[in-house]
Structure 1
């Protein structure tokens, strides 16, 4: 039997349309893209860094790229990535993700926005760009991202991201800004569940949920199915207790017209935190489509914040996203996707038990390791 040739990451991105109209192009688009991917994996955080990496690794890059006219200049990298269609780039990224990883049933997919602070440009009155990302909390992979329109907010970007993801069997978590009927509808249409933070300004729903919890607690949960879960953490001068409570068989008064699809339960989290002798109590409410399982609900709530620690923190600390001053045209959005590719590849490589920063350092020094990260070897 003849084996099918292995599809590489380069194959997935080779279909992007070349935005350059000059027939005298000196460099292949796929060469430009692969040098950029390799350089960002190794820690490059701008166009000069990418060119510097390319020049230093020319002989190795030549083993799998054509490079008909050597390494492109930093101006060429900047110009090309400013022109590449970000929707095409995103589409190729999604196809690549689907090819390398399948989501597990019940996996929590956290959706959250992040501001690219360095993209703010006072001289041209350009606001800082906000990207909304989807993060698979078990597999620790970025599943996709969408740029928030400059004159809008995450409410409009989240539906666009949901439309391009495959979420069947997953549990989608979103903070309060995503508490929208249309967003809930899009999630359920994909045969996925949701746990969404309830907004105080969400009509009467917040007030009714709050009243329901108070009544249920005071009456000993008569006529209402409930489940509870409790966690306690002590360390670094902090003592925190979290009480999770979930109610199902919800009375029709919460949603008499069934406008919140698959609203099967509501959740409450009471966090009692003691730091330096001072105690604070915070209560949050959630709507959910999952069945009455407070332990599962607790895992969804805690997993959601993994996008901050496992993705946003890495982007800022290891890949220095907030320091990036790339601002022109499509370049900020496309460079953000380069960073997401780097995070996914470095996370997926499991043989070296190191953090992302040290994996980047190793990839810079060891071409064989970088080849393994790229799955070229």
Structure 2
């Protein structure tokens, strides 16, 4: 996923804030790599460059709708990974085919369709409750991608989120393309895990490291310091003796040399 370093701009030098794309390993809570998006480009060209330096065997790569590109899917498969990628109307014809196929499957009671379904228990938090219904269809490649344009394309997913906030109910439906076999529960877990990069990386960088407030902006310094923050966060996350968050660990390392040594030792071990 991508993140803009909001205060790395330099109006005097006509320089916009830089944008970094990072790969986040959810289960290990580690940044695996990052690339800076070229000022004349966007995430679509940056993501394949990042994927090419990763070992993806046995991994599921999740990307938002910006990454729903044939070249990106091909890069993931070439590196040995599987994928679950959000599908939106930036791929209009593909989106229309997937949406219509799910409507048809539901109308027919899934007769003639290979499908799995999974629903979560009601989750309640801060006055909001939510239930998510997951559907997955497989054996549909000839219907969706007859020209074999999408590498290792095996299944499509639909997640319907029903939210109740202050007595008002809203329903949101999202679609996905995937190389996974037909397993709606795995689809749900993969999609939920994707938010780890927002909650455990981007949010921590802003709150624990105050990244968005940083005014470092000369030459390559913003990119270099972004990488240093990622390395620091990796070390803090791997230090397990303290149960506090990254922000407090960082503060403690600043005034306790013994604790700082313990954190640095993680890199050696």
TM-score by length of 2: 0.96
Separation in 2, partners of 1:201, 1:368:
52
| 2:174 paired residue number | 284
Separation in 1, partners of 2:226, 2:11:
20
| 1:143 paired residue number | 32
Q: Give the 5 Å matches for 1:112-151.
A: 112-151=1-40
Cα offset, 1:203, TM superposition:
4.0
| 1:252 paired residue number | 142
- Give structure 1 stretches of 5+ with no counterpart: 1-111
| 2:64 paired residue number | 175
Aligned with 1:307 (options 175, 197, 203): 197
1:366 aligns with 2:256: yes
- Give structure 2 stretches of 5+ with no counterpart: none
* Shift >6 Å, 4+ stretches: none
Which stretch of structure 1 is more off in the superposition, 325-334 or 250-259?
250-259
Separation in 2, partners of 1:251, 1:304:
25
1:297 aligns with 2:187: yes
Separation in 2, partners of 1:281, 1:130:
32
Separation in 2, partners of 1:159, 1:313:
24
Separation in 1, partners of 2:11, 2:130:
42
SS in 2 for 1:200: coil
SS in 2 for 1:240: strand
SS in 1 for 2:52: helix
Q: Give the 5 Å matches for 1:3-22.
A: none
Separation in 2, partners of 1:126, 1:366:
38
Separation in 2, partners of 1:260, 1:251:
9
1:294-330 CA-to-partner distances (Å, cap 9, x unmatched) read 1110000000011000000100000000000011111
Please tell me the root mean square deviation across aligned C-alpha atoms, in Å.
1.2
Aligned with 1:184 (options 68, 73, 79): 73
Cα offset, 1:253, TM superposition:
2.2
SS in 1 for 2:242: coil
Which stretch of structure 1 is more off in the superposition, 121-130 or 284-293?
121-130
Note if contact 2:55-2:80 (Cα within 8 Å) is conserved in structure 1. Answer: no
TM-score by length of 1: 0.69
Q: Give the 5 Å matches for 1:36-51.
A: none
Separation in 2, partners of 1:235, 1:184:
35
Structure with larger Rg = 1
Aligned with 1:216 (options 105, 112, 126): 105
| 1:233 paired residue number | 123
